Amino acid sequence: MNKRILLLVVIISLTFALIWFWIRKLESEGPKIIQGTKTKFLNKPQVLNFEIEDRGSGLRSIQVTVVQRDLQNEILNEELPGSLLWGKKNIIRRTIQIPFDPAAMKVKEGPLTLVIVARDYSWRNKLTGNISLLEQSFILDRIPPNLSCLSTQHYLNQGGTGFVVYQTSDDSVKDGVLVDNAFYPGFPVKAANYPQARVVYFALPYDQPDPKIELISRDEAGNEARVSFYYLLKKKKFRQDSLTISDDFLQRKIPQFFSMDDTLSGMSLTDAFLRINNYWRDQSHRQIREICRKSQPESLWEDRFLRLPDAEPSALFADHRIYLYGGKHIDEQTHLGVDLASLAHSPVPAANSGLVIYQGDLGIYGKTIIIDHGQNVFSMYSHLSNFSVSCGQKVTRGQKIGITGDTGWAGGDHLHFSMMIGGTFVNPIEWWDEHWIRDNIKLKLEILAPPQQQPSASKQEN
């Protein structure tokens, strides 16, 4: 009796083992093919990565083919070691790196497909295994956008503003001017004779007398065109100035920053001064760059920019300031604007038409207004005592926007006026100059004007 029971148990166990073995060997899930290289475009020799996995019966073979129109180029055909019977040592995961070289593969510009076929060691399909297929589409694009400069003469000043009219093809996704490593984007303009025309304003660094300046245009595939253009950059020597810091100034001004930085209350006067003059100056400039990160695509201004009426400049752009306390040199900074002093609490006009994109307290600059004049041109009005406009409001040239004051890191009532190209400070004096506006911007824009029609021969005879 016991032998019969034992035999039955053995038969049942073997039956279940055979069923389990049969089911496992007949598993129907094919290999998983995971794309590692996430890209739409190919434009240079590179390695494409894929992960192939089969946790059922293991990987048996991998085949990779490039297909383009009538071309079928097999670039990988790999048989992997393993067993149909036991499969304990079968490979369950494989990383394949496909070296893509357009020239070696003889593929041409345009769409192409990478076909990956993976087979496993399943007993399905008459022991040939499950098959998985991945078709990954790419576009081979090695041609950069067309790019050419339309404006001809470019006379630039160190620390000033440059302006270029150019054209680039429709496949461009990023274009403009590169000044060393600083990029300034271009904006489209309407021109019947140049439908792909664009304009770009760019800043010349005040502390770099010989920057590298290029037009660039990049397409979605990453192809980039770079074009040099003629320019003459005039070097400038900026002033150096000494400012004596008094205890009265520090005791009056430093507490105004306690709400921004509670560590100041425990510092000495000189340590608090250095923290505001360095850390909070840097933070203010970071905030300004963020505010000016986006601009209206069309130009909102016209004619020269206005300055504060009946005001004398007390500090100029790029003045190098040396700060003295107790007769000792304690710090130095660069003044990035023009200080204009008039009567206390003078009305401040908008230098030109535009859109108010900031109104509020701004670190060392105190109560500040920033106006976007379109196409990456901005003006800034600081140390105000009151505002007459709100954020998001459109203003016109000469419209009252505020009242001068001494808020922020100011020693007395005045207007700190700045011009910026995309958050980079430039010399405002150029923008106040009607001749500079005409010679460097308006005359270049005349290139885009439609050509005047010549009178017909019959009219000329009359």
Q: Residue 105 — φ and ψ, nearest 5°? A: -85, -10
From residue 411, give the alpha-carbon distance in Å to each of 9, 82, 152, 155, 176. 99, 83, 45, 37, 40
Q: Which domain holds residue 344?
A: 240-428
- Identify whether 119 is part of a domain: yes
| Coil vs helix vs strand at 432 | helix
Task: Measure the CA–CA gap between 156 and 236, rounded to whole angstroms.
Answer: 11
pLDDT (tens, 9 = 90+) of the chain, 462 residues, equals 577 776 666 666 666 555 555 555 667 788 999 887 788 898 888 899 999 998 888 888 999 999 998 889 898 999 988 877 766 788 889 898 988 888 888 889 999 999 999 998 887 887 788 899 999 999 999 999 999 999 998 999 999 999 999 999 999 999 999 999 999 999 999 998 999 999 999 999 999 999 999 999 999 999 999 999 999 999 999 999 999 999 999 999 999 999 999 999 889 999 999 999 999 999 999 999 999 999 999 999 999 999 999 999 999 999 999 999 999 999 999 999 999 999 999 999 999 999 999 999 999 999 999 999 999 999 999 999 999 999 999 999 999 999 999 999 999 999 999 999 999 999 999 999 999 999 999 999 999 987 665 454 444 443
* Judgement on whether residues 317 and 208 belong to the same structural domain of the protein: no
* Judgement on whether residues 394 and 277 belong to the same structural domain of the protein: yes
* Judgement on whether residues 192 and 251 belong to the same structural domain of the protein: no
CATH number of the domain that residue 168 is part of: 2.60.40.10
Question: Total structural domains in the chain?
Answer: 3
Q: Which of 140, 162, 192 is the last residue of a domain?
A: 140
- Identify whether 445 is part of a domain: no
Rg (CA), the chain: 35
* Judgement on whether residues 187 and 301 belong to the same structural domain of the protein: no
| Residues composing the chain | 462
- Identify whether 202 is part of a domain: yes
* Judgement on whether residues 253 and 299 belong to the same structural domain of the protein: yes
CATH number of the domain that residue 370 is part of: 2.70.70.10
* Judgement on whether residues 161 and 122 belong to the same structural domain of the protein: no
Residues 6+ apart with CB under 8 A from 436: 430
Q: Which of 78, 106, 140 is the last residue of a domain?
A: 140
Q: What angle do CA 422, 204, 217 make, to 5 degrees?
A: 65
CATH number of the domain that residue 131 is part of: 2.60.40.3880
- Identify whether 5 is part of a domain: no
Q: Which of 123, 140, 157 is the last residue of a domain?
A: 140
Beta-strand relationship, 182-185 and 172-179: antiparallel
Residues 6+ apart with CB under 8 A from 374: 187, 295, 296, 297, 298, 299, 300, 301, 354, 355
| Coil vs helix vs strand at 261 | coil
Query: With contact defined as beta carbons under 8 Å apart, do 234 and 155 qualify?
Result: yes
- Identify whether 2 is part of a domain: no
